[in-house]
Structure 1
Amino acid sequence: MRGFWQGLGLPGLIDVHTHFMPDQVLAKVWAYFDSAGPLVGRPWPIAYRHDEDVRVAVLRSLGVRAFTSMLYPHKPGMAAWLNAWAADFAARTPDCLHTATFFPEPEAAGYVRAAVEGGARVFKSHVQVGGYDPNDPLLDQVWGQLADAGVPVVTHCGSGPVPGKHTGPEPIAALLARHPRLRLVVAHMGMPEYSDFLDLADRYPGVHLDTTMAFTDFSERDAPFPRAQRRRLLDRGDRILFGSDFPNIPYSYAHALDALARLDLGDDWLRGVCHDNADRLLLGGGDKLRASEAG
């Protein structure tokens, strides 16, 4: 692992898609994966099933210098509580980027505003698990606030691994038509609608994509990235960010990086994806991270 990023001349990795959440919530998430629930659709062993402090230590040992606490509600009344937990976690874990979330409910605009004012650097929207339309009127003010603040939103909106009622590129295209300045990070490269979400990145300069689980053997089996689209990964190389889905992955962390390297798109592309693009988008070129490390 260290040989990978040191060989690229990087100070480490930035992982925009890692999951930390309250223990009782994470236990339910793991139980869902263990049962191969309907939104999973296949056996999915958890590779890094450890206590929270061990999981943090594992990321640090791998050279991950900044990561997120992607968490998400599946019903009303959860998001504000999750945001309070995430703010505390970020305060006691300085290399974790303060993460927040939301759900379509009357209170959403208020707690999203509070999270932004409290220093949240990234939000998570899980359209599949939440089962909501991103164009729900209860979220219109939320998206407007996030667009105005320039805070990125990592959004699981593709139809993998199992389609949801509101997944796919069409709802996101409608959202971006109303909020074209959104910094929206399409999780999992938009799997399996890769081409459609790359089209949106072509159209909107604020659209990014994260590599979470894409290109790995596990995903290529059922949702292979089309070889004919590989050139587009270079064309949009400045807006692709490394994500792992740690700890909820059924393979080693190193395999996610190997999967990127074997695309054979060059060291400059890897440097951008594994560090520099996220450094620019989430950390203002690294100044905030270096200040936190120094302090």
Structure 2
Amino acid sequence: MRAFWGRLGLPGIVDVHTHFMPERVLAKVWEYFDSAGELVGGVEWPITYREEEAERLRLLREEFGVRAFTSMLYPHKAGMAQWLNGWAAGFATRTPDCLHTATLYPEPGVDDYVREAVGAGARVFKSHVQVGGYDPCDPLLDPVWGLLAEAGVPVVMHCGSGPAPGKYTGPGPVGRMLARHPRLRLIVAHMGMPEYADFLDLAETYGSVMFDTTMAFTDFSERSAPFPAVERGRLLDLGERILLGTDFPNIPYPYVHQLDALERLGLGDDWLRAVCHDNAARLFALDR
């Protein structure tokens, strides 16, 4: 890891898609991965970094050189999001290198607790359309997207149909949402896997759309959802809007493999520097 970012002349890397949650919630998530359930495509998915929270933090900081990361968390039903946001605010307070993360769900009062989280300093939100089973165009979310667009707070959204499709996954619902809120800073998780080209089309239409690399291009994902070689040129064209994400700790391979997968795309050191550090540092003003 240090050889990777050191060769690029970086002070470390920034990972915009890492998971920290209340321990009992994370345990339930791990149980689901262990069951190879429908939402993970029914595939075997061993958790490589099944460690206590302190050890996971040490790995990010000391072993991987991650200088900023997130606590991506998400509700699967109503009544969870506000409680999760309270936990995430406390985690951010005691973990200064974690970007204060919040989440949401289409339910009465969502605009109130999203506004409260933004006021408390939330710097990024997570929306999980697949797990939550909701339409990003739900009328309850309409004022929320407007609020976040106005505040300039990015939203990392799992909206692609991988590893398994949901009722509202895919570019269609997201495209309709963006038509109403074109200034929303949307970070499409997993590069929009497997509808890569369609989400790249949305990014060419809406200048506020970004991507995170989470699990994309890795051997694990290439087996079931290969990134089209014909689209690599667009990765270079949109290089200032692609951010490193990994899904740590919930990955079935070593952390460094995500970086190796990016390097073997052959898009050059300038692209790697931007994706692995500079784009996120600029987005979240990390050097100020």
Shorter-normalised TM range: over 0.9
Unaligned runs of 5+ in 2: none
Aligned pair partner of 1:195 in 174, 194, 197 = 197
- TM-score norm. by structure 1 comes to 0.96
- TM-score norm. by structure 2 comes to 0.99
The residue correspondences of 1:118-133 to structure 2 (distance < 5 A) are 118-133=120-135
Alpha-carbon distance in 1 for matches of 2:122, 2:52: 24
Alpha-carbon distance in 1 for matches of 2:279, 2:152: 15
Aligned pair partner of 1:139 in 124, 137, 141 = 141
Alpha-carbon distance in 2 for matches of 1:16, 1:267: 20
Alpha-carbon distance in 2 for matches of 1:189, 1:234: 13
Please give the root-mean-square deviation of Cα atoms over the aligned residues, in Å.
0.5
Q: Secondary structure at the match of 1:39?
A: helix
**Residues matched between the structures, number:** 286
Alpha-carbon distance in 1 for matches of 2:236, 2:205: 16
How far is 1:206 from its partner? 0.6
What is aligned with 1:57? 58
Alpha-carbon distance in 1 for matches of 2:65, 2:262: 17
Say whether residues 1:87 and 2:79 are aligned partners.
no
Aligned amino acid, residue 12 of structure 1: G
What is aligned with 2:256? 254
Q: Secondary structure at the match of 1:100?
A: strand
Say whether residues 1:115 and 2:117 are aligned partners.
yes
Alpha-carbon distance in 2 for matches of 1:191, 1:286: 31
How far is 1:286 from its partner? 1.9
Alpha-carbon distance in 2 for matches of 1:280, 1:152: 13
How far is 1:145 from its partner? 0.4
How far is 1:281 from its partner? 1.0
Alpha-carbon distance in 2 for matches of 1:285, 1:276: 9
Alpha-carbon distance in 1 for matches of 2:25, 2:260: 30
Alpha-carbon distance in 2 for matches of 1:276, 1:114: 29
How far is 1:285 from its partner? 5.3
Percent of residue pairs bearing the same amino acid type:
73
What is aligned with 2:177? 175
Q: Secondary structure at the match of 1:196?
A: helix
Unaligned runs of 5+ in 1: 288-295
Say whether residues 1:20 and 2:20 are aligned partners.
yes
What is aligned with 1:29? 29
Aligned amino acid, residue 5 of structure 2: W
Aligned amino acid, residue 54 of structure 1: E
Say whether residues 1:263 and 2:261 are aligned partners.
no
What is aligned with 1:46? 47
Deviations 1:117-161 (A, max 9, x none): 000000000000000000000111111100000000000000000
Aligned amino acid, residue 186 of structure 2: L
Deviations 1:159-209 (A, max 9, x none): 000000000000000000000000000000000000000011101111000
How far is 1:45 from its partner? 0.2
Alpha-carbon distance in 2 for matches of 1:65, 1:271: 14
